[in-house]
Chain A
Amino acid sequence: MRIELNINSRKVCADIDPDMTLQKFLREKKYYSVKCGCETSNCGACSVLLDGKPVLSCSVLAVRAQGYRIETLEGLKEEAEEIGAFIADEGADQCGFCNPGFMIAAIALFREDPEPSDEKIRIYLSGNLCRCSGYEGQMRGLIKYRDQRRTA
C-alpha cells in the first residue's frame, strides 16, 4: 500500500506492506538514529516523536503514522546537542546505542516541563533502558541541564 509520511518536516512517500512497523520503515529510509534493541516494546531504543509525543516506533505501524508529524533525532540536532553536551560531560553516553531513544525522551520531557523534578525525570525516562551507565550519569547530566536552564 501507498503511504505518505511527514518525517522531520519532509514528505516521504513509499509503497509498503501493511504490517510494516514505523521502526523498520524509518531505518529502511536511512533514519539510522532509530535503533532496534528488543522487538518487544521494552527498551526504548526506537523512540521517535509523533506530534511531539515520544512513542516506540516498533509498536506503531508505519501506515498509522500518516497524518502525524514524525521527528527522529536526525531532525532534532540542535536540541540533541544542547542536552547531549551535559550527558557527554558526565561520560554517560558510553556505548551510545540507547542514546538516541533516551535523547528523544529527554527532549520531549523538557519541552513538556522545563523544570521537572528529579523524580519526574526518573519516571519519564523509565522506559529507556541503558545497560552501561547505571543511569546515575544520565541523571546527573539532566539535572545539571535543568539547573543551568533555571539560572540562565
Chain B
Amino acid sequence: MSIINPENLKQIKLTNTQIAWRAAQDIQDGAYVNLGIGIPELIARYQPQGRQVTYHTENGVLGFGEAPAEGREDWDLINAGKKAITLNNGAAIFHHADSFAMVRGGHLDLAVLGAYQVSQTGDLANWRVGSKGVPAVGGAMDLVHGAKAVAVITDHVSKDGKPKLVEQCTFPLTGVGCITRVYTSLAVVDIQHQKFVLREKLPDLSFEQLQSLTGATLHVENEVATLNAPPID
C-alpha cells in the first residue's frame, strides 16, 4: 500500500473554505439550513447563484443575512455563535422552543456540523474530547436529530494525523446514527446502511492512500467522482 507523507497531504488537501464551497454546491434551492458555529458557517458564502436558501439559527431567527459593518452591530440581533447578524427581507423571529421545534420536528432540510470523529454507523462526536475542563454542549445534541439531512464538514485526519472517520468513536458522543454525509479535506463520503460509501475523492490521491487515512473500510458502490474545488483564499 502506498502511504502518503504528511507534507504531500498538506499540499493537496482542500482548505476549510474549499470544503465549505463543496458542501454549498449540494444545498438545494428553497432549502432551510442550519450551519454550525465555525467552519460550517463558511458554507453560506459559497451558496451557488440563483439558489434561495433560508438560514436558521438556534437562538430564534430564520432568514438572517450578512454580518453588519463594524460599529453597526445591534447586540439584540445575534446568531448562535453570538456574532452580530442582519435580517433579510422575509425573516422571522421566534422563541427558543419554537426554534428547536423546527430542528427536532423535521422542518429543516439540512444541518451541517463540525466533528472530532464520525463513525461508519453515523455516530458523531463533536462536543468534548475528554472529561477535563468545563463541559459545554449547546444545541449540538438537538441539531443532529430531525433535519432531513445531517452533514459533517471536517478535515479528513486530526491535527496529529489520526483518522477522524472511524469504526467507532472514542470521544464522548453527540448523537447516535445521525450523520448522513461527510465532506472532508480529501473526499465526500455518505453513510448508508452503517457503512462509509465513497462518492468523491481528490484526483491526486489513490483509493489506497485515502483508505490508509481512514479508520474504517471505505465502500465503493458506483463510480467514484473527482472531488474538485476552485482555489479560494
Question: Is A bound to B?
Answer: no
Please give the residue numbers on chain B whose beta carbons come within 8 Å of chain A beta carbons, in ascending order: none
